Every structure is written in C-alpha cells, then in structure tokens.
A = this chain, B = another copy of it.
Amino acid sequence: MHTDNHRYERGLAKLREIDGEAGERVLQSLGDIAPDFARYLIEFPFGDMYSRPGLDLKSREIAVVAALTALGNAAPQLKVHIQGALNVGTTHTEIVETIMQMAVYAGFPAALNGLAAAKEVFAQEGTR
C-alpha cells in the first residue's frame, strides 16, 4: 500500500543520494524550530519531485543550479545544489557552463555570484 511512510523513506534516501551531508545538516537545523518542515522537505521535493521518472537526476540538478543562480537570493541552497550536481555525476565544467549561461538570462552579477559559489564548493572538495 502506498503510504506517507513509504514517501518519507523514499525521500530520505533520495535526499541522501543528492545532497549527502549537507542535506542532513539542513534537516538537523530545522529540528528545534520547524520539525514538520524537515518532514515536508523530505517528502515533497525529494520523495515526490526528485523521485519522478521522465528527467534524469543530473538534468534536474542542472535546472536547479540554473534557477538558484538566476534568482540570486539563496546562496546557501545554491552551494548545496552545486555539490548535489557533483554528487549525481555532473562535471565541474558542466556546472560552470550552466552558471555562465545565466549571464544571458539573469545578468552578469548573478553569474559572477554563482561562479563564486561554485569556486567555494569546488575548493571544499579538495580538503575532504
């Protein structure tokens, strides 16, 4: 039977696959202020959306990195998803190209700030 419990477990596995440790930290940070929101985050974005067929995970992460670069107002989440894109097999080059492309659609400042975020994430890789 298809229950919320199933959806939660599927979402948690997907969140760990994509976001890794950064995803766990987000969940923990919500624990004492909005625990239900941690549950929704697992269930809807990861249990529902990222678990859908029809678009591969790498393309989904390219879409998310593009959107968060363009919006330019969610730096912490952009970094989580640059790492997420790497986790699901996107190359450094593909991420940099996705962010550069945003100069055309959201302006050079958005792309410059996206590249700075990528630089930070790529640098942290080297230290792990």
Identical copies in the complex: 6
A binding-site residues for B, Cβ under 8 Å: 1-4, 7, 26, 29-30, 32-34, 36-37, 40-41, 44-45, 48-49, 52, 54-55, 59-60, 62-74, 76-77, 93-94, 96-113, 115-116, 118-119, 122
Interface of A is mostly: helix
From residue A94, how far is it (CB to closest CB) to chain B in Å?
5
Residues of B within 8 A of A96 (CB): 33-34, 54
**B64 and A67 within 8 A (CB):** no
B30, B62, B72, B108: the one contacting A45 at CB < 8 Å is: B108
Cα-based distance from A55 to B94 in the complex (angstroms): 5
